[in-house]
Amino acid sequence: MRKSAFGKQKSLGKGFYIALAISVVAVGTVAYLTISRLNSSLNQEPNPQAQLQNGTDWSVPELEDVAKSQPGVPLESSAPEESDTGSSSESAATMEQSTSSEESTPPAANTNGAYIMPLSGEIMNPYSNGELVKSKTLGEWRTHDGVDIKAAEGTPVKSCFDGTVTNVTNDGKWGIMVEIEYPSCTTYFCGLADTVKVKKGQEVKLGDVIGEVGNTSLVENADEFHLHLAMKKDNKWIDPMSIITQN
C-alpha cells in the first residue's frame, strides 16, 4: 500500500512540472509577439492621408510668398526710410538755426530819435508858417498849419514815432482825427477813414498802423485824397517836415 501511494505521488509530480513548463513557454511566446507588434507600430511611418482626413489645407507658403504683402497684414520695413530721416534732420537744423538767429538778433529799437513819414506820397500843400493861403474847399484865405500828403483812399497811416494816443475823435472841421503825444511834439492825423486801429490811452511804436486815409475833413474835402498831418511843440504849430528826418 505504501509503494502504490508513493508511485502515484511521483506520477503527479511529473505532470505538474510539465504543465508549468508549458505555461512558461506560452507566456514567453505571448510576450514576444506583443513586443514585436509594438516595435512594428512605432517604426511604421504616419499616413499623410490619415492626417488630412478632415479636408483642411495645412500647406505652408513658400519663402517667396511670405515676403509678399498678405491680405490685412502690413509689410514691415527692416530699416527706416532715408527721406524721413533727412526731413527730420533738416527740420531740426532749421529750428535750431531760427532759434539761434532770434537769440543773436535782438528786436530793433528806435534809438536814433528819427521821426518817419506816416505814409509815402507827394506833399500837396506844405506848411504855410503863418502865411495866408487860399483854401480850395472854403474859398477863403487862411493859414495852413500842417502838410497835406497825397495818397489813395485806404492807404495805411503809420505812427511817426513811439508815443501815446491821447485822443481819437470825429472833429467838426478835420473829420476823424487821431492825436498822439510824442517826446518832441503832439501830432494830429486828420481826415482819416472810419477804420481807426487805435484807441485813447494806447501805446504805439514807430511804424504801427493807426488808421487809413479817408476824406472826412470838411475843410479840405475838395482836395484829392490825402492825409492832413499837423504838429505842435510848446503849444505852437510847427512844420512837421522839420521833425521828420526819415522817409
DSSP of 37-72, one letter per residue? Answer: HHHHHHHSPP-HHHHTTT----PPPPHHHHHSPBTT
44 has a pLDDT exceeding 50: yes
Does the residue 54 lie in any domain?
no
More confident residue, 243 or 27: 243
- Quick one: 25 and 139 in the same domain? no
SS3 233: strand
Q: What is the mean pLDDT of the chain?
A: 75
List the CATH number of the domain containing 194. Answer: 2.70.70.10
Note whether 117 and 247 are within 8 A (CB). Answer: yes
Does the residue 218 lie in any domain?
yes
Does the residue 56 lie in any domain?
no
What is the model's pLDDT at position 226?
A: 97
Of 107-111, 123-127, 181-185, 235-239, least confident by mean pLDDT is 107-111
Does the residue 142 lie in any domain?
yes
Does the residue 68 lie in any domain?
no
**In degrees, to the nearest 5, what angle opens at C-alpha 144 toward C-alphas 246 and 130?**
100
**Domain membership of residue 152 as a residue range:** 115-246
- Quick one: 19 and 120 in the same domain? no
Spatial separation of the C-alpha atoms in residues 185 and 175, rounded to whole Å: 21
Work out the average pLDDT over 220-238: 96
Does the residue 132 lie in any domain?
yes
- Quick one: 122 and 32 in the same domain? no
What is the model's pLDDT at position 110?
A: 53
Task: Give Rg (Cα) of the chain.
Answer: 57
Check residue 21 and report its DSSP letter: H
- Quick one: 37 and 119 in the same domain? no
- Quick one: 120 and 208 in the same domain? yes
What is the model's pLDDT at position 199?
A: 97
What is the model's pLDDT at position 100?
A: 43
Does the residue 153 lie in any domain?
yes
What is the model's pLDDT at position 52?
A: 40
Does the residue 78 lie in any domain?
no
The structural domain count of the chain equals 2
